[in-house]
Structure 1
Amino acid sequence: MPLHTLIHRSSLPRPQVSETQARQALQAYYGLHGSLVPLGSQQDVNFRLDSDQGRFVFKLCHGSYARIELEAQHAALAYLREHGLPVPAVRAALDGSRLLALQIGGQALRGRVLEYLDGQPLTRLAHLPQRLMAELGALCAQVGKALAGFDHPGLERTLQWDPRHAGVLIEHLLPVIKDRAHRERVAEVASQSQRRLAPLVGQLPKQAVHLDITDDNVVWALDEHLQWQARGVIDFGDLSRTWRIADLSVTCAAMLHHAAGDPLRILPVVAAYQAVNPLSEAELRALWPLLLNRSAVLVLSSEQQLTVDPDNQYIRDNIAHEWEIFNTATALPAALMEAAILHAAGMAAQAPDLAGCAPLLPSLAREKVSLLDLGVLSPHCDAGNWQQAGFDQRLLLAQPAPASTQYGQYRLSQTHIDRPDEPATCALGVELKLSTGTLLHAPQAGIWLSTGDGRGCLSTAQWGLWLSGLERTPEDGESVEKGQVLGSTCGLLGVQLALDTDIQPPFFARPSQAATWLALCPSPAALLGFDCDAEPLADSQALLARRDASFARSQKHYYTQPPHIERGWRNYLIDMQGRSYLDMLNNVAVLGHGHPRMVAESARQWSLLNTNSRFHYAAIAEFSERLLALAPPGFDRVFLVNSGTEANDLAIRLAWAYSGGRDLLSVLEAYHGWSVATDAISTSIADNPQALETRPDWVHPVEAPNTFRGRFRGPDSAAAYLRDVEAKLADLDARGRQLAGMICEPVYGNAGGISLPPDYLRQAYALVRARGGVCIADEVQVGYGRLGEHFWGFEEQGVVPDIITMAKGMGNGQPLGAVITRREIAEALEAEGYFFSSAGGSPVSCRIGIAVLDVMRDEGLWDNAREVGRHFKSRLQALVDKHPLAGAAHGSGFYLGLELVRDRQTLEPATEETLLLCDRLRELGIFMQPTGDHLNILKIKPPMCTTRASVDYFVDCVDQVLGEITEFMSINID
């Protein structure tokens, strides 16, 4: 390849063509008229033409570009269209030609017109979901697989983007980087890449490749569910014949702009490509060196182009992205990326042969080594003790020697909270407690590389053995013979193998990277002489399949692919790989998860007695008294049950018995339970899509007094909503039917904690009582201190109901519910027989119920809900002020709602956006789900121990994701 040709092509500025000149050419040669929009390009000039005959792209390039190269592009487009791939067609000029030789402004140019593919590139999206990355990889594979059968003389060309020329081009362009440190870094990366690539070059097959399938050159459109769908591949300007793997390297490099600094995020691209168009092992090993070279060429080319075309805004906009690509590409060792790529492609890494090695610790041959469990379910982990600094080491030191941690175990101590990044929890080596002075021997001959502080690496021809906690080690750089003493231990010894001797691996890996790191850092068991490997985790997908095969499917789980959760602590849930998720939707665990008081109370009472409430024991009286002390004056009777459904069902029976009637008023958009009676009064179509069509004739739904999106808006709407209550009651009066009562959440729970309009319940209760009915306050979701400002929701309305129902937080997860009422209402049920709930009010439930109230008092959780809840509400309101999608912030305390709308005037629900938000929050380590009849509300109801720091983390993440959603919506509009 002539160097001067490559350098000349890489140094050409864009042609200078005005919109007027482009418009004249289009009219003269194509008979096309319309408006022009300039499109960015590095070395060409492109215009989008909007005409009455459709949309087109007018492409102009230097006349020095060989005609045959452009004809090859046209032929490839026609070929791919025949194979069903979405690429643009070429439009013929008036004289039938598809390629014009033009003179514009004294410049010799070549021009052509292509069909414009409607859609948007996704370059501007900072966050690109892995699904889209995978789709881009599959699309790249489809194009590459199709082009394998395409050939044309114009494919043989000298192109700066051809990776075969990267070394020469990088060496020539390096001087354009003025910063010495940056220049030397680019040079070193390129040199390392060339060394890794050199042995593979002869094994890389060649074919026609697009060479630029990137986020810039694939156009997408949003479907009705706000999911991006690929619409087509554009810009065949780099089409050439080179190594097949080059195509994938270009696509992966482009994805690093969306990787948030983590190059392993490109692995879905590799896996998707491999599934469609399988690559050889040599090609996969060449992928990362090619990507590194590509990132260097991108940076150098843009820097060079700015020197010859300083006014090119397209280049100025891209250069920061290209440095980001380079920095991300060099963030992890090339050896790790190679192992990760092979793993993603389904190729297992070759395990090292340790059969001939001498034992590292020969003195252990006659001793039994105990293995210390530090996993997520370890019995040593209790009440958050794993959060203490040095927890693992203190626990190991407490064991009798010899003892060892476990290789490949996900350690709970390595988790972190209120952070978006995965914690590095997977142990890539082991730590041992040994008798002081225990000698270590070299398993193989090698070189001792000291890093100081009793740490170093025995570097052998095949692997490196990293050791820490040594005394009397060899000198740095000293040759070591097999079996030679390496030193002695001073208590704790760290042992870690690494297949690549050029890198010092971390001791812990993130779960998403664990498989790759474990392949690169295999188990040291063969050198230690005992099995130190952790038991593999249960297959989460297989477990989910077992659930689906045996557990009735109407009992749904959160998320399509839910994390495997077996532990919780305070306001966090922890998966089996040690990631802690901020729990923002668990209104059952009011005290938080894993509370030690709950553990102690339940264990003690279970060890004594657990039976039903017909036996005589103290706890049932004590708990009933505590509940009555929380109720308004006049309430003097308690029923204990297992759940909110049971509580509301019983409340209905009490209303029937006391009033002598059966007709009940319930409020639209509400949920009260799943039993026959409570389902009958539930009207939420989110919980039951047939709710409004299947109400029995004794249920009379009244209009939901939703002050945000209801028919009547604002705080002065009570009278308007009460008209529907009056109408329903008048109809019952006219038919001579006795009213049993009305059930209503005093704060509108399903809608995210919306307050009812002032005075609504006072007047509604008066209307109901005037007809002999009873008023039921369903406090199952909103009561028991969760609102912060009030202990009971009905206090906000300044009313006192006749019956209070409660459950959920009463037992912090223990099945426990209650109905609190007056004696005359309770005794009305006796005429119909006695009431009994087998487990309701059991000794265990009562003791736990008492303990919950004690902890709420002792730990100030109601105060916390009030004070932190006020901060929470103000921060949510700030989101409403900032983001058009955030329509309103509802609720108080730790029962809050954020309602998403597409239009502040029409209040069109942002249902799809809410689902996107919740899925993205999970990626950031937060559990949240959409709710409400339109599934457009975040119903925020975390444990009442939630801290201000957790609130700020949650709101900051919602702020970030709302910005991302707005960004991609604006891209679609553009």
Structure 2
Amino acid sequence: MSVIEACGNPASATEAKTHPAATTAAILARRAHLLGPAYRLFYERPLHPVRGEGVWLYDDEGRRYLDAYNNVAAVGHCHPRVVEAIARQAAQLNTHTRYLHTGILDYAERLLALLPAADYQLMLTCTGSEANDLALRAARAFTGGTGVIVTECAYHGVTSAVAEVSPSLGMALGPMVRTVPAPGTGGPLSFAQHVQAALDDMRAHGVRPAALLVDTIFSSDGVRSHPCDALAPAADVIRRAGGVLIADEVQAGFWRLGERMWGFERHGVVPDIITMGKPMGNGHPVAGVALRAEIIASFGASVRYFNTFGGNPVSCAAAAAVLDVLEDEKLGENAYYVGEHLHAGLRWLAQRHALIAEVRGTGLFAGVELGAPAGAAQPLAQIAANVVNGMREAGVLISATGVQGNVLKIRPPLPFSGEHADLLIEALDDALAFATARARL
């Protein structure tokens, strides 16, 4: 069966067009008028999904697409157990954390038991951006410092505070921010040595450090999954300087990497603060921050924190259902074994296509770095975009990341199977061949 046949089957009558009179051009014009220019869309030919199920998205014409990108729906789009948990709790009660409710306590108890130390406490937010924002506030309150070290192309969110520590957004960084190369990209110096150099520069400018903040799969830096021995020495360096280590697990956490529940576990470190989000509620907005007890104590002693929606009963029900599904369906094991199959396929493609410079990643998180073919007339970012758009036309959804925008980013829902991986590899084989030819035109 071809990829087009597998991914392009017409849906049933119940999946037919929801807006038969609306054209893509009309929707785009309406969107521009109502939402303004700041939003961005994926793909040269934007996708209009109207339904999701498992690892599939269905568009307004009934065509289905293999989703190999949206890690938010980690246990699969519209998982019935998560949907039912949300509906059941929404029909009963939804308030906030200034009232007593056991749902947040039951969830906190379960989640904290999955962390590597006994002295963490949990604060819940709505988004990963909020979680990282709160983590920075707590770190600064605890250390008395303001300086933050992040990697060169990091992304940690969209609030004012975390946008200033997210170089990938292209904004001016805050004056208290220093950047370092991601592990494995910094030349002869180790990651810890780069962190020390950043601390030395802070000290020279009178800046007291607060935190080293890292996404533990270094996703926006190009999915830098290895080496795994770089973070522990860097954690020692920041702690000796009076700062803390914040592990951003918004993308890497909840078994995505297959080997462990959390990305930082691959690096043999125990963070001072752990942030999480995206897959936590399988699309329902719930995120959180786990902090060492002494950090949250210092923060709580001087700051009154309240989040109207963070930790509400419906969010906690969704998050608890996600843990149920992860455990009962053994999705961590699936991410490991299917990930091995996926990465083997990607390495096979690297032998067939000179366009592939390197395959990185682990579990169901892969980064495929592209290099310019001989005689290329297009920049690397455009070549990667050609591959991504070619995959979209074939019915498989991926994206691109990295400092040059030349790393294909693959992170499907965790129920992804070996058969799904084979469909992806077949589509990518064709897309790479087409992009290679197009790059030389």
> Does the pair score TM above 0.5?
yes
**Structure 1 residue 884 and structure 2 residue 387: aligned?**
no
Match of 1:920 in 2: 390
CA positional deviation for 1:572: 0.7
Please show how residues 693-708 of structure 1 align to structure 2 within 5 Å. Answer: 694-705=172-183, 707=184
Residue identity matched to 2:158: W
CA contact (8 A) 1:662 1:739 kept: yes
* 1:815-872 per-position Cα deviation (integer Å, ceiling 9, x unaligned): 0101001111011112332111110000000011000000011111111101101111
2-side partners of 1:823 and 1:968: how far apart? 56
Secondary structure of the residue that 2:91 maps to in structure 1?
helix
1:753-764 alignment runs, 5 A limit: 753-764=223-234
Residue 811 of structure 1 aligns with which residue?
281
Contact persistence 1:746–1:756 (CA under 8 A)? no
Q: Which residue of the partner structure matches residue 4 of structure 1?
A: none
Is 1:559 aligned to residue 29 of structure 2? no
Letter in 2 for 1:928: I
1:782/1:682 CA distance change after superposition, 3 Å: same
1:610 aligns with 2:94: yes
The structural deviation recorded for 1:881 is 1.8
1:217 aligned partner: none
Gap change, CA 1:537 and 1:886, over 3 Å in 2: same
So what's the TM-score if we normalise by structure 1?
0.43
Name the amino acid aligned to 1:913. I
Q: Deviation at 1:658?
A: 0.4
User: What are structure 2's unaligned runs of at least 5 residues?
Assistant: none
- Which residue is equivalent to 2:292? 822
Offset of 1:893 from its aligned partner? 0.8
Q: Does residue 544 of the first structure (1) align with residue 130 of the second (2)?
A: no
1:419 and 2:1 correspond:
no
Q: Tell me how far apart the structure 1 counterparts of residues 348 and 36 of structure 2 sit (CA, whole Å).
A: 42
Distance in 2 (CA, whole Å) between partners of 1:782 and 1:869 is 14
Q: Which runs of 5+ in 1 are unaligned?
A: 1-415, 428-509, 512-533
How far residue 626 of structure 1 moved from its aligned partner, in angstroms, is 1.1
The superposition leaves residues 939-972 of structure 1 with CA deviations (integer Å, 9 ceiling, x where unpaired) of 11110011111110001111122123334556x4
Are the equivalent residues in 2 in contact too, given 1:537–1:576 (CA < 8 A)?
A: no
CA deviation profile, 1:231-256 (whole Å, cap 9, x unmatched): xxxxxxxxxxxxxxxxxxxxxxxxxx
Tell me, yes or no, if the aligned pair for 2:52 and 2:58 is still in contact at 8 Å.
Answer: yes
Aligned to 1:769: 239
Quote the residue 1:226 is aligned against. none
Task: Describe how 1:346-495 pairs up with structure 2 within 5 A.
Answer: 419=5, 422-424=8-10
**Which letter maps to 2:43?**
Y
Partner of 1:673: 157
Q: What CA distance in whole angstroms lies between the structure 2 residues aligned with 1:903 and 1:635?
A: 52
Give 1:909 deviation, angstroms. Answer: 6.5
Seen in structure 2, the aligned counterparts of structure 1 residues 950 and 819 have a Cα distance that, compared at 3 Å, is same
Deviation at 1:543, TM superposition (A): 2.6
Query: Is the Cα–Cα contact under 8 Å of residues 635 and 820 in structure 1 kept in the other structure?
Result: no
C-alpha change, 1:675 and 1:955, in structure 2 (3 Å) is same
2:61 partner letter: Q
> Does the Cα contact within 8 Å between 1:420 and 1:923 map onto a contact in 2?
no
| 1:419 aligned partner, one-letter code | E
Alignment partners' CA distance in 1, 2:418 and 2:222: 20
Given the superposition, is the C-alpha separation of residues 823 and 955 from structure 1 closer, same or farther in structure 2, using an over 3 Å criterion? same
1:285-339 CA-to-partner distances (Å, cap 9, x unmatched) read xxxxxxxxxxxxxxxxxxxxxxxxxxxxxxxxxxxxxxxxxxxxxxxxxxxxxxx
Distance 1:663 1:842 in 2: 32
* Alignment match, 1:601: 85
Tell me the C-alpha RMSD between the 2 structures: 2.4
Is the contact between residue 419 and residue 925 of structure 1 (CA under 8 Å) also seen in structure 2? no
CA distance in 1, matches of 2:75, 2:371: 33
Are 1:751 and 1:939, in contact at CA under 8 Å, matched by a contact in 2?
no
Shift of the 535–790 alpha-carbon distance from structure 1 to 2, 3 Å rule, reads: closer
CA deviation after TM superposition for structure 1 residue 608, in Å: 0.3
Q: CA contact under 8 A between 2:355 and 2:373: conserved in structure 1?
A: yes
2:127 aligned residue (621, 634, 643)? 643
Bigger mean CA deviation after superposition, 544-553 or 822-831: 544-553
Contact 1:582 / 1:927 at 8 angstroms: preserved in 2? yes
The alpha-carbon distance between structure 1 residues 855 and 535, as it changes in their structure 2 partners (threshold 3 A), is: closer
Conserved 8 A contact 2:251-2:278: yes
Match of 2:64 in 1: 580
Moved over 6 A (4+): none
Indicate conservation of the 8 Å contact 2:152/2:221, yes or no: no
Match for residue 682 of structure 1 among 162, 166, 176: 166
Contact 1:655 1:741 in 2 (8 A): yes
User: How far did residue 420 of structure 1 move?
Assistant: 5.8
Q: Deviations over 1:344-392 (max 9, x none)?
A: xxxxxxxxxxxxxxxxxxxxxxxxxxxxxxxxxxxxxxxxxxxxxxxxx
Residue by residue over 1:778-837, the C-alpha shift from the partner in whole angstroms, topping out at 9 and shown as x without a partner, is 111111110001211111111111000000000000001010011110111123321111
Secondary structure at 2:190 match in 1 = helix
Aligned to 2:340: 870
Give per-residue Cα distances to partners, 1:247-289, cap 9 Å, x unaligned.
xxxxxxxxxxxxxxxxxxxxxxxxxxxxxxxxxxxxxxxxxxx
**Matches of 1:800 and 1:779 in 2, distance apart?**
13
Structure 1 residues 878 and 627: alpha-carbon distance in aligned structure 2, compared to 1, 3 A threshold = same
The question of whether the paired residues in 2 share the 8 Å contact of 1:753 and 1:892 is answered with no
Secondary structure in 2 aligned to 1:942?
coil
Contact 2:8–2:65 (CA<8 Å) still a contact in 1? Answer: no
- 1:103-502, aligned counterparts within 5 Å? 419=5, 422-424=8-10
Cα deviation, residue 734, structure 1 = 4.2
Say how many residue pairs are matched: 436
Assess if the C-alpha contact under 8 Å between 2:191 and 2:231 holds in 1.
Answer: no
The yes-or-no answer on 1:844 pairing with 2:322 is: no
Paired residues of 2:373 and 2:439 also in contact (CA < 8 A): no
* 1:701–1:425 distance in 2 versus 1, CA, 3 Å: closer
CA distance in 1, matches of 2:382, 2:214: 29
Larger radius of gyration: 1
Residues of 2 paired with 1:851 and 1:423: CA distance? 31
Pairing of 1:704-783 with structure 2 (within 5 A): 704-705=182-183, 707=184, 710-712=185-187, 719-783=189-253
Pair 1:853–1:418, CA change in 2 (3 A):
farther
